A = this chain, B = another copy of it.
């Protein structure tokens, strides 16, 4: 398997290409070039060709890429040719917004469970979800075979929730809690923390 050989930075760009291609497909566009795609995503055509060619020959010189075909291939490569169930932990403002967010549905994901540890929130209806008690998290997630979680709890509660998620068999965590978390080597983590994103930009401001 080539998985270990392809740099993660390339993997990280594939969803950006896919997102732009899906928008083009939605508008009925059938073919595109690395040039055109590059203008849409702000990445050079050469970089795009190089990235995509890591996985095979999906375009032809002169005719470019067939959009639907390339979408299918990228979905296969990214393992989203089927839908993944997701558990959201934390039913505060962010967790609730994330659970209700409609933008995941057509991109390979479906939120199935929403947990909170606050007895006042457990049982509450948020969008399509009845908030579940975090004490049942390990067993519920394990039983459902859910492998992906979004974590939206306060920083203090994050590591303990992560430990539970790992115990439940979760292998990928999108962490909205503003703290670094520790996981075993076979679990992936991505971070969403608006303050760190903002600070990365203020460095360049006067």
Contact = CB atoms under 8 A, between A and B. Distances in A.
Interface of A: 3, 8, 11-12, 14-16, 18-20, 23, 40-42, 77-80, 84, 86, 93-94, 96-98, 100-101, 103-104, 107-109, 147-148, 150, 155, 171-172, 174, 178-180, 182, 188, 190, 192-205
A198 B179 contact: no
Contacts of A98: 194
Contact of A172 (B18, B100, B202): B202
Contacts of A16: 180, 196
B78 A18 contact: no
B199 A108 contact: yes
A11 B3 CA distance: 28
A107 B193 CA distance: 11
B94 A155 contact: no
A200 B16 CA distance: 10
Given A94-B97, A100-B93, A205-B171, A199 B147 contact: no
B195 A104 contact: yes
A195 B41 contact: no
A197 B174 contact: yes
Contacts of A205: 79, 84, 147-148, 171-172, 188
Contact of A197 (B42, B171, B178, B190): B190
B202 A79 contact: yes
Contacts of A107: 195, 198-199
Contacts of A3: 203-204
A100 to B, nearest CB: 6
